Amino acid sequence: MSKTILQSLHAVSDEKYRDFQSRLIPTVDKSKIIGVRTPILRAMAREIMDKNPTFLSDLPHDTFEENQLHAFVLSQFQDFDKTVAELDVFLPYVDNWATCDQMSPRVLAKKPNVLIRYIKKWIASNHVYTVRFAILCLMRYFLDDNFDEMYMYMVLKIKSDNYYVNMMRAWYFATAAAKHYDRVLPVFKKQMLDTWTHNRAIQKAIESYRIPKDNKIELKKLKKHL
């Protein structure tokens, strides 16, 4: 079955798009990128749900596109328990930011009290993209009605030198500032983040259309000088 999927992927490959993708995801060897556009992959993922349910068990995948398909199939699941179980299996194989960030099962929002237990486990992982996904889940599912400062401190406590982890931390705090400015501001005033993440979070917040001009002026003054 996987051979058939690979054949289908190669049949719709685009060499120029492959070259473009390889520049965006430097953690993936170019030889493992076929060059298939996202709308095509999403359509293929819907077919896999119906015709090839064993695809998810065929790990590790050989190509970036197969990992993308895996992420898109998981994102369609409607059963919470099945989704988190499959995420537990797949996350250690995720090797790039795109697959991590485009994996967005809506069903996870249904059980925040259970989801947070998985997030706590994922955020303690030694695997870069498992940690990144955990932060992404905190941003997606715990910055609105479920917001609590204890979740913010979970992200604060992460110590990493990895660009993809710290970029997600910056994204998290920029988004949190847009939604809960007064509660997040002390993080910046007390300089609770490392310099790189602190400055990148402020920069992303300044670029956000969701943050008022006066708040942007205040944040800009809080940038750390290298």
pLDDT at 225: 79
pTM (2 decimals)? 0.94
Q: What is the per-residue pLDDT across 173-202, written as a single tens digit (0 to 9) for each? A: 999 999 999 999 999 999 999 999 999 999
How many folded domains does the chain comprise? Answer: 2
Q: Is 208 contained in some domain?
A: yes
193 in the same domain as 93 = no
Intervals of the chain under pLDDT 70: 1-3, 226
pLDDT at 145: 86
pLDDT at 1: 47
Can you give the residue range of the structural domain that contains 176?
Answer: 123-226
pLDDT at 128: 98
pLDDT at 4: 85
Q: Is 117 contained in some domain?
A: no
Contact 198, 206 (CB under 8 A): no
pLDDT at 3: 67
143 in the same domain as 73 = no
56 in the same domain as 130 = no
Secondary structure of the chain in the HEC alphabet? CHHHHHHHHHHCCCHHHHHHHHHHCCCCCHHHCCCCCHHHHHHHHHHHHHHCHHHHHCCCCCCHHHHHHHHHHHCCCCCHHHHHHHHHHHHHHCCCHHHHHCCCCHHHHHCHHHHHHHHHHHHCCCCHHHHHHHHHHHHHHCCCCCCCHHHHHHHHCCCCCCHHHHHHHHHHHHHHHHHCHHHHHHHHHCCCCCHHHHHHHHHHHHHCCCCCHHHHHHHHHCCCCC
Angle at 158 between CA 215 and CA 123, to 5 degrees: 110
Contact 193, 173 (CB under 8 A): yes
8 in the same domain as 102 = yes
Q: What is the per-residue pLDDT across 135-167, written as a single tens digit (0 to 9) for each? A: 999 999 999 988 999 999 999 999 999 999 999
